[in-house]
Amino acid sequence: MTWATFQASSPAVAAEGDRLITRREIGEVLLATVRGDDPPRIHPIHVAIVDGRLYAFILRGPKRADLEQDGRYAMHTHQDPGAPSEFSVRARAHLVTVEARRARVAAAWSFEVDDTYGLFEFTVEAAFLGARRDADEWPPRYTSWMRGD
């Protein structure tokens, strides 16, 4: 499902997820990808929510090959030691081939992209939020959401 559908189903979790993704004014996350029986790979990437959909432009390389061949992913926000709440989502990513959508997303992007970047949309099937006011609060207050909840 799209980010907008997730947001409509769980507005508080989605809002906090959006805040954590963009807390440095640019969407920064860690992306985990898999392919076949290979171990998962972890990659730092930039993401954005544009028109109610979660996107990333990705150059050719192992993470792009993983997404094109398998599509399964998990995404986790970077942690801030001063405000260590965390957010993660998982599902599948799909290469966007519609040029009009690619152009619309590129126009809203935080850096200039060219044809060497593939645009991927990340669907949302599960989301997890671990909320903490500060580093001393333990354990986090966990909230989870899964499609169909």
C-alpha 122/C-alpha 131 separation (Å) is 23
The domain tally of the chain equals 1
CB contact at 8 A, 3 and 125: no
CATH number at residue 99: 2.30.110.10
pLDDT of residue 72: 96
pLDDT of residue 118: 97
Stretches in the chain below the pLDDT threshold 70: none
pTM (predicted TM-score):
0.93
Domain limits for position 53: 3-146
Residue closest to 66 by CA, chosen among 101, 86, 100, 41: 41
DSSP per-residue codes, 70-105: T-EEEEEEPPBTTB--EEEEEEEEEE---HHHHHHH
User: Residue 4, Cα to own-chain centre: how many angstroms?
Assistant: 13
